[in-house]
Structures are given as structure tokens and as C-alpha cells.
């Protein structure tokens, strides 16, 4: 990192470009996060043209916007026309209207068509995250013809590991892996050995369901079809990993009573973070007030046995911990589709039994502690232990 900054400051651009050409695009994008805005612009302009779009796709949205607003139309055209269609669409959805207008003005007709096609689909649907850059093969091609087609069109595709076999009306009827093509006789017809056990998703399928399908079948790419089973795109594993991370983050934030946000922590402003947290904090404070009211109502009983007040924090914390364990387990189960809403009665009954077992175990352990260590009376110990069980 320091070496790259020194090369920029000393204007050793030839050495810098050579070093960048030997680095992975994701690693270069990580370097951008440590640079000032001026250094980011310089570094991006030094990048080899063949790498610029790939590096750009890895940058966070704020850095992307900074670069787009600081470069020439020709440089912007190089970026937008060399991005994968799904990455270009994501960029359009995040950028301000003025930037989007400029990018579209510099995009070629094919790129504009692909972007407009993907923007038609609802947010967070399979259609919105798919790419239209895949290799399709006619069912009547032989192996030699199929490999020739892959060589001709494959360079600009998202993946060539799996090719999709279509009939004359573009219905998806099978898939074939590149390795099988390489191992087959060149005169064999791909329709004779293709895999016709197709697993696909509809364009309107929710992205979370798509991620679950990837996890279930260990796919690296999945076809996306319309309502008539016509192939319209594919979803690749790199996009699904991002979805899984987003969904997991959202689940964790819900468990912590925080309104989910799309921005990274360091990119989220103080006031925005405040707005995400304060609603639930207010609600929890009000619920705690109810608890305080209950304690006040039984003040006379507590005054008779003042020693009981010493155990209130322990009882409240234990109850909170037990509730936290149950809620985290259930929310995670719902997220992974291990629990359906029609299972709620079974879930409640199971949690009641688990709570009783935990309560009895805690009460028995606490009884020994209260009698042998704290030296309280049997009445006080019984009240505390009974509260643990009921709680």
C-alpha cells in the first residue's frame, strides 16, 4: 500500500502500471479504499484499459460515483461497455439520475439494451440480479460445432463452464458442462448426452430463495427462465455470495433490534445510525417501564423480604438471556426455511418444554448456591427458584 502511494507521489507511472497489471482486480480495489479522492482518480487512470472495468466492479458505490464524475466521456464509455450486464445494472440502480443519464449516453446500443432489459424486473428478484451473458447452444449441434461457438462468443460471457441447450423457440431443454464437450467425440450431437434434469428459477423468484437453491444444489451458475420456460439469463455464484452476506447481515441486525441498512458501518452517518437504532430502543425502554411498574406494585412484599431485591438483576438477566437464545434460534430457522409459519404451534410447544427443562436445571443449581453460599432462608430460596422455573 505504501509502495503504491509512493509511486503515485513520485509520478513513477510506468512502474505503477506494471505493478498493477500483476495484481488481482479485487486486491487493487482494496487499495482504493486507503487512498484520497485525488489519488483514487490518478490510480484509476493509470490502470490498463483491460483491467479498468473489472476493478471498477469491485469498488464501493461512493468510490464508483467519485470516479465516474471525474473522468472523461471516453473513459466512462470504456467502463460501462466492458462491465458485465448485471454489474452495469447494479451501477445504474445506485447512481444519481444525472450520472445514470451520462453513462447511458456513452453506452453502446447492446449495453443499453441489456441494462434496460434487466431494469424491468422487481428489486431483489432473480431477474434483477441475473446476467444475460451466457453461452447457449442449439440442441442439434455436434460437439465440434458447439466448441467452435464457445470459442467464438465465450470471451465476453460471464461463464463458459456450463452451457445451456435450447430448442428452436429458446426453451431451456438441457445443460452441458464444458468438460463433457472436451471429452466427447466431435461428431456426437449434444442433444444425445446433455443433462435434461434442469433446475432453474423464474425471473420473479426472490433472491433469498435463489441463494437457498444455490446452497442446496452446490451450483456455480443457475439458469433463469420466464413463465414460458424460455432462457433469459443466468445467476452466478459471485452474485449469490453477495446476497448471502446481505441476508445474513440483515438477520443479525434484526436479532439485535436494529433496522437493517445496506451501507457498510464506516459509510453510515451518525444520524442515520441513530435513526436505525432509536425506534427499538424506545420500545424496549417502554417495556422495561412495565417491568418496573410490576416491581413497584409488589413493593410491600419486597419490603418484607428485602433480600429478594438482590436477586432481581439475576432473574431479569437470566430471563433476557433465555429469550435471546430462543429468538435467535427461531429467527435463524425462519431465515433458512427450516421453520415455516405453519410450524409455530410446534415451535411454541417445543420452546415451552425446553424452557421448563432449563428452568428446572437453573433452579436446582441456584437452590444449592442460595442455601450453601448465600445462606438465605428456605422461603427466599424457594421464591427465587420458583421464579426461575416460571420465568
Cα separation, 327 vs 322, in Å, equals 9
Helices 97-106 & 85-94, crossing angle to 10 degrees? 150
β partners of residue 201: 224
> With 0-12 CB in 10 A as exposed, 13-18 as middle and 19+ as buried, what is 146?
buried
Q: What is the architecture of the domain spanning 298-390?
A: Orthogonal Bundle (1.10)
* Phi (first) and psi of residue 168, to 5 degrees: -65, -20
Alpha-carbon gap, residue 356 to 336, rounded angstroms: 26
CB-based contact 331:295 (threshold 8 Å): no
Residue 89 CB coordination number (10 Å): 23
Handedness of CA 148, 150, 155, 156 (dihedral sign): positive
> Domain-by-domain residue ranges, the chain?
2-120, 136-236, 298-390
The fold of the 2-120 domain, in CATH, is MgtE N-terminal fold (1.25.60)
- Residue in this structure with the C-alpha cell 446476497, named with its chain if needed: 243
Q: Which CATH class is domain 136-236?
A: alpha beta
Please spell the DSSP secondary structure of 86-152, one letter per residue: HHHHHHHHHS-HHHHHHHHHHS-HHHHHHHHHHHTSPTTBHHHH-BS---EEETT-BHHHHHHHHHH
Per-residue pLDDT of the chain (391 residues; tens, 9 = 90+): 667 777 777 778 788 888 888 888 888 888 888 888 888 888 888 888 878 888 998 898 888 988 998 888 888 898 998 888 888 888 888 888 888 888 888 899 988 988 888 888 998 899 999 999 999 999 999 999 999 999 999 988 989 999 999 998 999 999 999 999 999 999 999 999 999 999 999 999 999 899 989 988 989 999 999 999 999 999 999 889 888 887 777 777 766 666 666 666 666 777 777 777 777 777 767 766 666 665 566 566 556 566 677 777 787 778 778 877 887 788 777 776 778 878 888 889 998 898 889 888 988 888 888 888 888 878 777 877 787 777 6
Rounded distance between C-alpha atoms, residue 328 and residue 333, angstroms? 8
Cell 438483576 identifies what position? 313
Identical topology for domains 2-120 and 136-236: no
Q: What are phi and psi of 142, to 5 degrees?
A: -90, 175
Amino acid at each position: 500500500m505504501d509502495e503504491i502511494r509512493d509511486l503515485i507521489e513520485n509520478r513513477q507511472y510506468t512502474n505503477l502500471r506494471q505493478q498493477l497489471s500483476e495484481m488481482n482486480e479485487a486486491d487493487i480495489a482494496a487499495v482504493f479504499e486507503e487512498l484520497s479522492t485525488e489519488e483514487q482518480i490518478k490510480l484509476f487512470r493509470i490502470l490498463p484499459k483491460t483491467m479498468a472495468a473489472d476493478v471498477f466492479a469491485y469498488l464501493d458505490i461512493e468510490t464508483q460515483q467519485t470516479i465516474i464524475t471525474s473522468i472523461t466521456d471516453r473513459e466512462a464509455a470504456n467502463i460501462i461497455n466492458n462491465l458485465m450486464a448485471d454489474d452495469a445494472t447494479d451501477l445504474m440502480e445506485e447512481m444519481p439520475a444525472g450520472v445514470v443519464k451520462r453513462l447511458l449516453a456513452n453506452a453502446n446500443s447492446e449495453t443499453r439494451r441489456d441494462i434496460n432489459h434487466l431494469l424491468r424486473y422487481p428489486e431483489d428478484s432473480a431477474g434483477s440480479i441475473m446476467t444475460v451473458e451466457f453461452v447457449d447452444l442449439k440442441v442439434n449441434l455436434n460437439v465440434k460445432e458447439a466448441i467452435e461457438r464457445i470459442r467464438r462468443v465465450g470471451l465476453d460471457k460471464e461463464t463458459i463452464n456450463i452451457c445451456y441447450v435450447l430448442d428452436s423457440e429458446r426453451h431451456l431443454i438441457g445443460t452441458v458442462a464444458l468438460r463433457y464437450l472436451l471429452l466427447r467425440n466431435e461428431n456426437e450431437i449434444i442433444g444425445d448426452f446433455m443433462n435434461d434434469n434442469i433446475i432453474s428459477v423464474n425471473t420473479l423468484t426472490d433472491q433469498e430463495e435463489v441463494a437457498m437453491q444455490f446452497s442446496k444444489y452446490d451450483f456455480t451458475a443457475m439458469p433463469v427462465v420466464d413463465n414460458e420456460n424460455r432462457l433469459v439469463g443466468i445467476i452466478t455464484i459471485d452474485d449469490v455470495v453477495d446476497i448471502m452476506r446481505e441476508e445474513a447481515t440483515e438477520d443479525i441486525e434484526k436479532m439485535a433490534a436494529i433496522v437493517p441498512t445496506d451501507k457498510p458501518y464506516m459509510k453510515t452517518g451518525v444520524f442515520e445510525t441513530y435513526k436505525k437504532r432509536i425506534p427499538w430502543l424506545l420500545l424496549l425502554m417502554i417495556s422495561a417501564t412495565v417491568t418496573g411498574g410490576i416491581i413497584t406494585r409488589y413493593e410491600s412484599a419486597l419490603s418484607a423480604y428485602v433480600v429478594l431485591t438482590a436477586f432481581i438483576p439475576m432473574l431479569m438477566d437470566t430471563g433476557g438471556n433465555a429469550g435471546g437464545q430462543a429468538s435467535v434460534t427461531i429467527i435463524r430457522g425462519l431465515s433458512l426455511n427450516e421453520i415455516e409459519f405453519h410450524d409455530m404451534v410446534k415451535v411454541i410447544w417445543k420452546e415451552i418444554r425446553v424452557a421448563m427443562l432449563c428452568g428446572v436445571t437453573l433452579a436446582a443449581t441456584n437452590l444449592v448456591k442460595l442455601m450453601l453460599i448465600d445462606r438465605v432462608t428456605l422461603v427466599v430460596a424457594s421464591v427465587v427458584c420458583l421464579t426461575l422455573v416460571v420465568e
